Amino acid sequence: MARKHSRHGSYEVPALEEAQVPAVSCWLCGRPMGKTIVWHHPVPKSRGGRDVVPMHSICQQTLIANFTNSELQRHGLDVEALLAHPAVRKFVDWVAKKDPDFTATIAKKPR
């Protein structure tokens, strides 16, 4: 049977100071992250990529729709080169005004 009171006094959880968690921003669009964070491989794993970056799911879908794995491998971690692509630049300008948890369907590029 459990005791109502401990012999050694009450157990108190020490108050933790609320640490300021640094705001994580999306690697592609630069907006703050919402509830969902997608860890994206800028260089695809199939091409030897190991690094991961935080992204919104809609931003990741845009990259996948506009670039092949070999194109992503060539760009590597150079986000400026990806933003130079007209479709990606248009998307980033459009999504900049949306809230962090915004999501939508992304049309695939005809190949």
Specify whether the CB–CB gap between 66 and 87 falls below 8 A.
yes
What is the pTM for the complete model shown?
A: 0.73
Selection from 82, 90, 74 nearest residue 55 by Cα: 82
Task: Report the half-sphere exposure of 105 (CA within 13 A, side-chain side).
Answer: 2
Per-residue pLDDT of the chain (111 residues; tens, 9 = 90+): 566 655 666 656 555 555 555 678 999 999 999 898 999 999 999 988 899 999 999 999 999 999 999 999 999 899 999 999 999 999 999 999 998 888 887 776 666
